[in-house]
Structure 1
Amino acid sequence: MGAIAGAFSLSASADVTFSGEFGVQQRYYLQDALYPTQPRAQGSLFLQPSLYTEWNEGYDSLVFTPFVRLDQEDSERSHADIRELLWLHAADNWELRVGIGKVFWGQTESLHLVDIINQTDAVESVDGEDKLGQPMVSYTWLHEYGSLSAYVLPYFRERTFSGLEGRLRPPVPVNTDKPLFESDDEESNVDFALRWQQSINSWEVGVSFFHGTNREPELIGTLNEMGEQELLPFYRQINQVGIDVLNVSGDWLWKFEAIYRAAETDNAISPAMGVPLTPESEAIDYFAAVGGFEYTLVGFMETTYDLGILMEYQYDERDNNFFAPAQNDLMLGVRWALNDQDSTEVLVALIQDLDDTNSRGGFIEASSRMTQNWRWTLEGYFFAAEDPLKPLYFVRQDDHIQFGVEYFF
C-alpha cells in the first residue's frame, strides 16, 4: 500500500473529480417465505461515491470508490466495501496497477464463467454481477499481437451470503464467520492469474489462467454449538483455464465462454476439521460452457427502436450444485432499446432447464432517466422447480420485483 500512499501525496495538488450515485430500492416478494424470519418486503439504500485524479500529464491516475448498503431486514446485506482504491501508471506499451481494483472478463449475457478475479458480492443481486474489491498488483504488456496481463492477488475476499432474515438463500443458513480453507495460509494465500486478449478483425479473443483460491465455495453441512444445522463455506485451491470469444458480424453478435476448473488435490477436506462433505462437493474437476448470439433489429418496424433477440445455451458438468443451476439450459431473451434521450432499455429473458420442463427461471431488467441526474430502475426475478434436487428448488418462492430510484452526482 506504500504505492497508494505515495500516489496520494503526489496527487495532492492535482485536480480531483468527485462523482457517484445514491439509491433507494424496495424489493417485494410475490410469495410467502419458505423459511421462518424471512420478510415479504425488503427496503434498502446504497451510496457509492468516487474520487478520481490524474497527474504526470495523465500517465498516472488514482481512483477511490467506496460502497455502503443499509438493508431494512437482513443484517448480512448491510455492509460496506472498498470497490476500488487503485493507482494506475501508464507507459507507451505497458500499464501497472496497484491497490484494490475490479477486473471483468467475459462476453456472454446469461453467465460469466471466466470472470474469476473478483469475488461475487452475492447479497447485492441474483445475477452475480456485483463484485467485491480485490487487492491486486497487475502488469499489462501492450503489443500488436495482443495484450498480456499478469495478476498477483495477495488477499482473498470471502463471498457474502444472505443471513437468517434474508431471502434467496439455502434452507440451512451459511455461517460466514467460520470459513474453511484448503490452504494453510487461508485468506492470505497469494493467487496468480494471466490473461491474453486480442482483437482480430471482427473477433475478440481472450485466454486466461488462474491459480489460487476458488471464489466459489463448497457448502459443508455441520452442526453448530447449539446442535443446529448450518453450512460452512469451504474454499478449495484450484487451477482454471478459460476462453472467451466475441464475433461481430453486421447485426449479429456471437458469444462464447468456456472453462475447465481442476482442484489442486483430491482431498475433500482436512480430517482435522471433522466436517462431513455435502454431496454437491463431489465434482471438483469439471468443464462448463455458455454460448449463443444476439441479433439486433435496428429501427424495428421503421421506428427509432432497436430490438435485440438473444439465445444462449448453458452447460455445466456438475449436478445438484447450489451455485450451478445451469447444467443443460437454454436462455431466450429480448432486449428493447428506445434510443431516446432518457436511455430507456428493457431486457426480458427466460432460462429453461432442458432436462426438466418444470425447472426454469426468468428475469426482467429495465431502466430510464427521469432527469439528467435521476434514474429509475426495475428488476424482477422468477423461479420454478418441483424437484428437490434442483438448485432452484430452494428459492422457488423467492420471486420478487425490485424498484429503485437513483441519483447521480
Structure 2
Amino acid sequence: MKLHTLFSLCCLGLFGTVFPVAATSFFDSASVDLAATARYYVHEKDRNKTVNNQFSHGVKGEFKFNKSSRGVKFNTHLFANWDSADEPRRYYDFREANVYVSQDNLKFGLGVDTFFWGVSESINIANVLNQADIMESIDGKVKLGQTFVSLSNRVKNGYISVYYLPVFREQAYPERPVYGLPVSEYALFEKDKKNGGIAARGLFYIDEFEFALSFFKGTRRSPLLLQSVANLSVRSPYYLQTENFIFDGVYLLDDFTVKLELKTGKELEHGFTASNLGLEYPSYAFSEYIEEVIFIAEYVFDDRGEQGESHGQNDIFLGTKFDFGHSNQGSVRFLYSYDFDFKSEYAELSYEYRLSDYFRFKSKFTKVLSAPMEDKRLFALSDEEFFKLSIHYAF
C-alpha cells in the first residue's frame, strides 16, 4: 500500500474515531461511516483512447451529527472522498449543514440540504433541486448539497413548502467513465443566467394515496454536452433555463403499488412533457429462502429526446430487489433498461452484505449492453463497464 493511501486511511480513521466521541457530548446523535474503496474498468482505455484509469483504490467517509433544542434542530452531513487515480474524485461536500426552526405548524429552514422528490426506482424526473453527484454514482441517485432558504406549513393532510435556492452548482465530471469526450471545465449558460432557482411543493396523504404537486424555475441541473467549437476534442456543458410543473405519487393496492412521476414545462421557448409510470409487485413465492422479492417495471417517456435530462426517452426499466439472510443481512438490486427508439440496453447489479454490526460490504457492476451511435448518451458510455467495491466500518 502506498504511503499517501496509508496516511489518508489513518487520518480518516483518527477523525472518525476521536471526533464522534467528543461530539456526542454536545450533539444528540453522531455517526461515522468509513470505507475502503476500489473501482475496476473492464477495458484498459475508454472508447476514444483518451483516459487510461483501469484500476483505482481510495477511501471515503461520511460524518453525520444533529442537535435539537426547543424547536430548533441543527443537522450536519459531511462527505469526503479520495481516489488514487481519478483526481476529480478527490473532493468533499457538505450534503447537509442546516438549521430548522419549528413553531406550531410552521417550519423555517436555512443552510445546505439534500432534498428528495419522486417515487421511482429507475429515473427520478421529479427530483430537480439538487445537483447529481455523478462522481459517486452515475445513475444520478446521489446528490450534492444545495444552499436553500425554506418555509413549510403543516396542513391537515400534509405539508406545503416554498424554497429559495440562491446558488447554482455545476456538475463535476470524473475522468472515467468518459462521456464520449472529455468535458470542459468552462460551462455555458442560456442567456448567461446562473441561478439556483425558486420552488414550491405540496405533499399530501389521503388513505392509501400519497402524492405531491411541485413547481421549480431556475437553471436546469443536468446540462447538455455540446461539442466545443473552439476545441473539437472536448464537450462543453450547456445549462438551460427551465420551468417545471411536477406531479409524483404512490397508490397502494392490495397486490401491487402504482407509481407515477409526471413533469411538464418549458425549455428553449418550447413546451415539454416527461413521465415515469411504474408498478411494483411483491412476491412471496421464494419465502423459504427470501422473505419478499419485489419486481419492478417502469416506463420513461421524454419528448425532449436528446435534450432530456437522462437516457430515458422511450425506455422500459425492469428490475428486482430483495433482502436475504438472518435479519436481512444482505440485499440485491438488479435493473435492466431497453430503449425502443435505438434498441439500446443497459444493466446494473448491486449487492450489499452486513458482515457484523459495524462492518458491511457493497459492490456494483454497471454495463451498457448495446448502444448504436445514434443513441448519443449510452453510446458515449459503451466500453465503460466497471465494478465498484467498498468495505464499510460504521458506528
Shift, 1:196, TM fit: 0.8
Shift, 1:336, TM fit: 2.0
- Does residue 261 in structure 1 map to residue 265 in structure 2? yes
Q: In the alignment, what sits opposite 2:91? A: 79
Q: In the alignment, what sits opposite 2:184? A: 175
Task: Give ranges in structure 1 of 5+ residues lacking alignment.
Answer: 1-10, 267-283
Aligned CA RMSD, in angstroms, stands at 2.2
- Does residue 243 in structure 1 map to residue 228 in structure 2? no
Q: 1:27, 1:401 within 8 Å by CA — same for their partners in 2?
A: yes
The separation in 1 between residues aligned to 2:158 and 2:308, in whole angstroms, is 37
From 327, 348, 356, the counterpart of 1:341: 327
Residue type of the alignment partner of 2:315 = D
From 218, 223, 235, the counterpart of 1:217: 223
Q: 2:157, 2:206 within 8 Å by CA — same for their partners in 1?
A: no
Shift, 1:313, TM fit: 0.9
Q: In the alignment, what sits opposite 2:164? A: 152
From 199, 202, 215, the counterpart of 1:196: 202
Residue type of the alignment partner of 1:387 = P
Output aligned runs, 1:72-111, within 5 Å.
72-111=84-123
- Does residue 288 in structure 1 map to residue 296 in structure 2? no
The separation in 2 between residues aligned to 1:36 and 1:184, in whole angstroms, is 31
Q: Per the alignment, in what secondary structure is the counterpart of residue 378 of structure 2?
A: helix
Post-superposition Cα deviations, 1:292-336, rounded to whole Å, max 9, x if no partner, equal 111112473444521111111111113335853221111111212
Q: Per the alignment, in what secondary structure is the counterpart of residue 127 of structure 2?
A: coil
Q: 2:317, 2:338 within 8 Å by CA — same for their partners in 1?
A: yes
The separation in 2 between residues aligned to 1:303 and 1:167, in whole angstroms, is 38
Q: 1:32, 1:397 within 8 Å by CA — same for their partners in 2?
A: no
Q: Per the alignment, in what secondary structure is the counterpart of residue 401 of structure 1?
A: strand
* Farther-moved stretch of structure 1 (149-158 vs 294-303): 294-303
- Does residue 120 in structure 1 map to residue 148 in structure 2? no
Residue type of the alignment partner of 1:53 = K
The separation in 1 between residues aligned to 2:234 and 2:341, in whole angstroms, is 30
Q: Give the structure-1-normalised TM-score.
A: 0.85
The separation in 1 between residues aligned to 2:24 and 2:342, in whole angstroms, is 60
Shift, 1:169, TM fit: 2.3
Q: In the alignment, what sits opposite 2:390? A: 404
Residue type of the alignment partner of 1:307 = V
From 363, 375, 380, the counterpart of 1:394: 380
Q: 2:302, 2:308 within 8 Å by CA — same for their partners in 1?
A: no
Q: 1:14, 1:55 within 8 Å by CA — same for their partners in 2?
A: no
C-alpha change, 1:214 and 1:201, in structure 2 (3 Å) is: same
**Stretches (4+) displaced over 3 A:** 11-16, 301-304, 320-323
The separation in 2 between residues aligned to 1:93 and 1:61, in whole angstroms, is 15
Identity rate, percent? 25
Q: Per the alignment, in what secondary structure is the counterpart of residue 254 of structure 1?
A: strand
* Farther-moved stretch of structure 1 (195-204 vs 333-342): 333-342
Residue type of the alignment partner of 1:337 = D
- Does residue 48 in structure 1 map to residue 62 in structure 2? yes
Q: In the alignment, what sits opposite 2:238? A: 234
- Does residue 374 in structure 1 map to residue 351 in structure 2? no
Shift, 1:30, TM fit: 2.0
